[in-house]
Structure 1
Amino acid sequence: MTSSQPPARPTPGPAAVPVPWTLVAGLSALALLWPLTGLTGALGTGAPRALAIIGITAAVWIGVVGLGRVPRPVLTLTLTGLAYGLVAHTIGLLVPVLSGFGGPGDGPAWTLIPALAFDAMWGALAGVVAAGVQRLRGAGR
């Protein structure tokens, strides 16, 4: 016995929604704040500068993803954190070479993995907050 109804198509779930890679790339470009503020002297030096950059970056990430209703905010910002770390590491390798103050490999290579893990965890935390912002705004409606 055959059915006259066509076979049911699977409905796309959350895993079927692609990661917004251009957004990930754009948000990870905020890693450029480190050398820009260092070169210009903006935001001071030391811990106040670091805290200001971290605060600005977190606010932008959470604001853009949370208020922009980006799908899969935790995954998106986790990948953004990872990309941020890669951009920061690349800048850390290039800036000394371009300015004549050393060369690649001057720092310990083993620090890359823990730094990327920290940046990914920071991104995941921002993603959880952005998901909360989306829920508060009713993004699922």
Structure 2
Amino acid sequence: MTDPTPQRPRPVDPRGDTRLAGLSWPAVISLGLLALARPLARITGADEVLGTPGGPLLLTLAVTAAWVLVVGLGRVPRPVLTLTLAGVTYALATLPLSAVLSTVIDGVPAGPLVNPVAIVPVLLLNAGWGALAGVLALGVQRLRGGHG
């Protein structure tokens, strides 16, 4: 038996996949890489200037604010998905980075690649961070009269 409810047509992606239609991949990747400011601050010692635990928290809030403002004020399409994937991009970038840098800095590899059980939680945590920022960006867009 078929559902009599008419379905709204989905946007069509030229590659045939409609789930990611309208997504700004440059925004996803650049915003994901922007979050690398957090580990960069740790590596350079810049986070020590801000203190612990305040430094990492302030950097996380700064990245989140940048994500929300860029996507919300920039009217980037599909803000929740865009920032969810930006969080995943950040997580994927930190996986090899943590292993390499811990080896260089501490002489011992560390991080999720050394402890693979941690990979899924890292991906989920950062996807959640991005999704939360995406909801905030969507709110900014709606306040400004956008449609998200």
**2:130 is equivalent to residue 126 of structure 1:** no
Q: Could you state the TM-score of these two structures normalised by the residue count of structure 1?
A: 0.80
Secondary structure of the 2:127 match is: helix
- Higher relative contact order, structure no. (Cα contacts within 8 Å, ≥ 6 residues apart): 1
Structure 2 vs 1, CA of residues 20 and 11 (structure 1 numbering), >3 Å: closer, same or farther?
closer
Name the aligned partner's letter for residue 33 of structure 1.
A
Residue 87 of structure 1 and its aligned partner are, at CA, apart by: 1.2
Deviation at 1:86, TM superposition (A): 1.1
- Number of residues of Structure 1 aligned to a counterpart in Structure 2: 131
Asked if the contact 1:67–1:134 (Cα under 8 Å) also holds between the matched residues in 2, the reply is yes
Aligned equivalent of 2:92: 86
Is 1:21 aligned to 2:20, yes or no? Answer: no
Superposed counterparts of 1:65-84, under 5 Å:
65-84=71-90
Pair 1:37-2:41 in alignment: yes
Identity of aligned residues (%): 41
Note the residue ranges of structure 2 that are not aligned, 5 or more in a row. 1-8, 13-17
Q: Flag the 1:65–1:36 CA change in 2: closer, same or farther, 3 A.
A: same
Q: Which has the higher helix share?
A: 1
Query: Cα distance 1:102–1:18, how it changes in 2: closer, same or farther (>3 A)?
Result: same
Larger radius of gyration: 1
Q: CA deviation at 1:23?
A: 1.0
Change (3 A) 1:16 1:98: closer
Aligned-residue Cα RMSD (Å) equals 2.4
TM-score normalized by the length of structure 2: 0.77
Q: Check the 8 A contact 2:91/2:126 in 1, yes or no.
A: yes
**Alignment check: 8 A CA contact 1:27 1:61 kept:** yes
In structure 1, runs of 5+ residues without a counterpart are: 1-9
